[in-house]
Amino acid sequence: MLKRLLITYLILLQIVLIAGTFTAKFPILNYSQQYPEKAWGAIFIKNIATRVIEGKIVAVNVYKINAIYADSDSGPFSDVSQTFAVDYNNDGYADIISLTYHGKVVIKENKKFDDEGNLILKDIRKYYLPVYNGDGTMIIDDFDNDGSLDMFSYNSWFYAQYVNDVLSPKQISYHRINYFKVKIDNRSAGSGFVTNWTVSAMASFDYNGDGFKDILYVDRKGRFWVWLNDYKKGINRFFNEKNIIFLFEDRSISSDEWYGGGVLDVGDVNNDGIIDIVAGHTNKKNIIIYFGKMVNNKLTFSKKNSLKIVENDGKLGPTTFVDPSIPNSKSPKSLPSFSPTIIKISDIDRDGYKDIFVGTDAWRQRKNFGGSVYLFKGVGITNDNKPQYLSLELVHGSYSYENNPPYDFDAGTIGDLDNDGIPDFVAADGNHSGNFYKIFPRTSKLYVTERGVLISDYIPNVVGILPKDLPQNFIKKITVTLKFDKSLGNGFFEVRYIKSGIKDPQLIDVDSYPLAPGCFPKMPIQEEFTSTIVFNKPVPDPQIIVVLFPESETSAPHLVELEYIVETQQSQVIIKNFNWSKGE
């Protein structure tokens, strides 16, 4: 006889404990040249630029962009296989860290432009890696959280090399990766776990939420991996094959040819607050977005949740289009080959939509044609959360026999080369001419008068609360302080707040969110403004909105400091209607 005993409990359990105080001050110095909004702890910006003025890093309204030009330049990238932009001396003009085919690291300082408009890059420091091979891929970031930039490279001989402080190397280590120990389930990754060409196949991101940057990587076989940062291992943090975790595979960007490699970059291309991957392969024409998705608090990707920007035959994907009214709006379908070696994501015009640069190589796809640069300019997001792109051909490319160098691109990077607050793109022909193209948005030096919006990341992320510690550190109170330099410009500002984190900043109505206490609409800037926001109950994901209004086309507010002081409490737990059933 089946008996059931149903016991219903109604429990109201509320715990209110002071857990801690956290602070964060911005701007940070070694901020990402691709995503300069990170200098301010922001996850989204619109019409806001980051520049250096009179030695100060400032957030200011963006300049008007007249056009985007591609200018060829000569010289400084001979033998260079990899590049990465960073403003190492904080003068506002991005410098370039390069790695040569023979394993030499070269720091190139930006000496600005000569009278003819040529970019002057001066080699100021050189040193060799232990293994003299730079053919492969590399990534630069602060992997040990000491405030300096580190380098990780993985070459075509399967050697991983790590430099602690790439600008002034303190320690350099290396390790030959045993690909038999790199596993997909119980299978070996095999010799396809390699980048046997010079491509941008790595990007950094804190995948597991431990506060240290990990590395996302795509290999020659179109398999995606995360290289976990084992911070306890110091300079050997990336050398344990067991910490190279398989994510997913897409054979449409795979190749059985020995030479070639997958190409990727990461960024939130649909503004949903989750990192996405944009990838391709040197031997295929397609460019594909793999949308990130959180499943049980874990970041996941799948080829089923993807969108093609460019199809394998070179046709444009379903949300990418050509505008016939723009002469250089073209599809790569007409090119003899479209072989990506460089994919870089950034919001070039600061309009809130991510843009994607693609630079191509020659010697791939059985054609001797290369050196094309395309910009897939973000122009919108569909109702089902898919990004839309306008296809622009910035450099057509050429055949090698035309002797029109550069005709293929090995290395590329994004950085603000002219300190106008607009990211620029450099694509270099390292193994032939050493020449390069620089892609410059030309500005009018007049401010966009539409208001600028800066939306912070979720406050726990801003102040460094790790996901594992969040239940004990919900946000109870935020004290935010803004400092302006009135000698640099004038205008108005607002501080607003979001109690519960938003999914798509592009769609928000800024005016619908409450003003911070003590702030009123279009408040004249002052040297210092402080407001404290207190929530009735602690919340997990609030955000701060800073709005900047120019006084005119020639004068705008210059934010020079942004500070958060956050008080937290343990989350308030309410357990209701728990049912226990016992049968049989």
Mean pLDDT by 10 residues, the chain (584 residues): 35 44 94 92 94 95 89 81 92 94 94 86 94 94 95 96 95 96 93 87 94 96 96 96 96 83 94 94 93 92 96 95 96 90 93 93 75 93 94 88 74 92 85 78 91 96 93 95 97 96 74 96 97 96 97 97 96 46 33
Contact yes or no for 489/556 (Cβ under 8 A): yes
DSSP string across 170-195 = SEEEEEE--TTSSEETTEE-GGGSS-
Looking at the fold, whether 26 and 108 belong to one and the same domain comes out as no
Residue 574 lies in a domain: no
Cα–Cα–Cα angle for 51, 52, 58, rounded to 5 degrees: 65
* Distance from C-alpha of 36 to C-alpha of 48, rounded to nearest angstrom: 10
Select from 247, 181, 243 the least CA-distant residue to 219: 247
**Residue 419 covered by a domain:** yes
Residue 88 sits in the same domain as residue 150: yes
Q: Name the residue among 494, 565, 560, 564 with its Cα closest to residue 527.
A: 560
Distance (Å, rounded) from C-alpha 148 to C-alpha 163? 11
Model pLDDT, residue 324: 96
* Nearest in space to 238 (alpha carbons), one of 306, 176, 196, 299: 176
Place of tokens 């007409």: 334
Residue where a domain terminates, one of 447, 479, 507: 447
> Would you say residue 262 lies in a domain?
yes
* 428 within domain boundaries: yes
100 shares a domain with 183: yes
Task: Please give the Cα distance from 368 to 171 (Å, whole number).
Answer: 41
pLDDT of the residue at 507: 64
Q: Is 463 found in the same domain as 370?
A: no
In terms of DSSP bridges, do strands 411-415 and 424-428 run parallel, antiparallel, or are they unpaired?
antiparallel
75 and 23 assigned to the same domain: no
Domain boundary among 447, 476, 510: 447
Contact 302, 294 (CB under 8 A): no
Among the listed residues 293, 321, 473, the one whose alpha carbon sits nearest the alpha carbon of residue 392 = 321
Query: 74 and 55, same structural domain?
Result: no
Residue 135: both structure tokens together = 């053919």
Name the domain boundary from 447, 466, 495.
447
Whether the bond into 318 is cis, omega within 30 of 0: no
Residue 561 has φ and ψ, to the nearest 5°, of: -155, 140
For residues 204 and 217, membership in a common domain is answered with: yes
DSSP state of 451: P
Domain that holds residue 217: 63-447
Asked if residue 530 belongs to a domain, the reply is yes
In a shared domain, residues 440 and 473: no
Claim to verify: residue 198 and residue 250 sit in the same structural domain: yes
The CATH number that applies at residue 43 is: 2.60.120.260
494 and 394, same structural domain?
A: no
CATH number assigned to the domain comprising residue 260: 2.130.10.10
Are residue 240 and residue 388 in the same domain, yes or no?
yes
> Is the pTM value of this prediction over 0.95?
no
Is residue 583 in some structural domain? no
> Would residue 510 count as lying in a domain?
yes
Quick check: is 581 in a domain? no
Q: Does residue 416 contact residue 423 with C-beta atoms inside 8 Å?
A: yes
Count: domains in the chain: 2
